[in-house]
Amino acid sequence: MKTPLLLLLAAFTGAAAAAPRPNILWIISEDMSPHFGCCGETAIATPNVDRLAAEGTRFAHAHVTAPICSTSRSALITGMYQTSIGAHHHRSGRGTVKIHLPEGVPLVPRLFQEAGYWTSNGSWPGGGKGIAKTDYNFEWDPAVYDANDWAGRPDGKPFFAQIQLHGGKVRDGANAARVLTEKLGSLTAPENLTLPPYYPATPALRADWALTLDACRLVDQQIGEIRRRLEGEGILDQTVLFFITDHGVSHARGKQYLYAEGTHIPCVVRGPGIPRGNLREDLVEHIDLAATSLALAGIPKPSTMQSRDLFAPNFEPREAIFAARDRADETVDHMRSVRTEDWLYIRNFLPKRPHLLPNHYKDHKDCYVALRAARAAGLLNPLQESLFAPERAPEELYDTRADPWEIRNLAADPAHARILTEMRGRLDAWMERTGDQGREPEPAAQYDSDMAVYLGQGKKGVDKPMIEANIALMKRLASEGR
């Protein structure tokens, strides 16, 4: 029996069916903010990403709906808010308690397969037998991917491919400096780098920031290599290439958090039918890649999909974009945000918990170690010290034009009461309209099931006593209503 999608495709006219369909390629880098020349970065050169932007369209205000990999990727691959499909807790559904997608929510690669596309998901420079990173927080069929590369597809068959880049995670390795030096020839000098004002510019934090930029240089180099492959195969101009990251840099205000450092990403599109040399200033959510890619291939968008076609003739820009942060590994939190052209509003549903909640994954990072060392040495100013505050404001409101670093919370300022009320209303309406499943706490059975996986993974470097202590802390805070 044919699916509704196949029936719709069968209804296309012969002329439309005969029209050439472009290849669609998503290049997704991990843990990386928009530190590229075309995005305004001046400390490093990124000629390959800059060239893509010059030959295509760059979205200056693209943000993820979730600032952590599995929730972000779950949203992207469905074109749905992770909060609408129950995939909002990081690395959830990995234990005995499984998560299943709601009825009528297909994965984007499945839609491409049903439309006659070859689907692949690989890494760069490639190799290996399995598909590359997926990290979806629900049960899914691996057969949605035909392979880990488009090379094996039948002649004449278009492809929908993903290439996953290690990106910002390269800087986290013990041998990061050596690896980056081997790849790039030299490293960025840290001495004159300017850090965001909420981080102290100590030598250790400058060195970490330099490695962050060098990871961007490596991604730029890899994008050049991918481009040369497409050129060598004679398919560059038959391929629509998207470049994004899965969320922002992994730092104390980045990954896992709803400030721009956590949600703002590069987003560049280049290929047939894409306006050249175009800069778009409208607000974009990363899930919009789903509907945009389907439309470029002539594939109908499912009626359930919340994604928008960015190049549709009747496209209506979003008045506001939304993001959510929930449990990250063993660390339980609950935050929501709404962003307009001028304002960012964040609601902390658990304000009695500190900003820097204990988290096994992040607490071992060099930047966190350096930040704590700077604090112990008395090197933090009041703004930087606020990262360690034992509690948070229930609401945060930032004028993003006047305060691009998002550091002056105006929520308690009577002069901004009207905009605070407006932003509250926007967020409440979105949570209701989209069926935010995070409005209720995660069931204890789900949490315990996933924590059993964390405690049993047996990976090198896993500090089980630390994870156990963090789990106990999360349960104690919940029992105390905090």
pLDDT of residue 20: 86
Confidence of residue 14 (pLDDT cuts 50, 70, 90): very low
**pLDDT category of residue 127 using cuts at 50, 70 and 90:** confident
Q: With 90 as the cut, is the pLDDT of residue 15 above it? A: no
Banded pLDDT at 171 (limits 50, 70, 90): very high
User: For 16-54, what is each residue's pLDDT tens digit?
Assistant: 445 689 999 999 999 999 999 999 999 999 999 999 999
Query: Domain locations in the chain?
Result: 21-311, 335-479
Q: Could you tell me how many residues make up the chain? A: 482
Domain 21-311 of CATH type 3.60.9.10: no
Q: Exposure of 472 by Cβ count < 10 A (0-12 exposed, 13-18 middle, 19+ buried)?
A: exposed
Beta strand spans in 293-399 (E): 321-325, 335-339, 343-348, 395-399
According to DSSP, the residues that pair with 323 across neighbouring strands are 337
CB 251 within 8 A of CB 33: no
* Locus of tokens 């808010």: 81
CB-based burial label for 399 (10 Å; 0-12, 13-18, 19+): middle
Mean predicted confidence (pLDDT) in 231-239: 98
Summarize pLDDT for 372-384 with one digit per residue, the tens.
999 999 999 999 9
pLDDT (tens digit per residue) in 67-122: 999 999 999 999 999 999 999 999 999 999 999 999 999 999 999 999 999 999 99
Paired tokens of 9: 């495709």
Contact between residue 303 and residue 288 where contact means Cβ atoms under 8 Å apart: no
According to the model, what pLDDT value does residue 19 have?
Answer: 63
Residues 6 or more apart from 313 whose CB is under 8 A from it?
none
Distance between CA 259 and CA 93 in Å, rounded?
27
How large is the angle between the packed helices 203-232 and 176-184, nearest 10 degrees? Answer: 40
pTM for this entry = 0.95
Q: How confident is the model at residue 7 (pLDDT cuts 50, 70, 90)?
A: very low
Positive or negative, the Cα torsion across 120, 55, 236, 316? positive
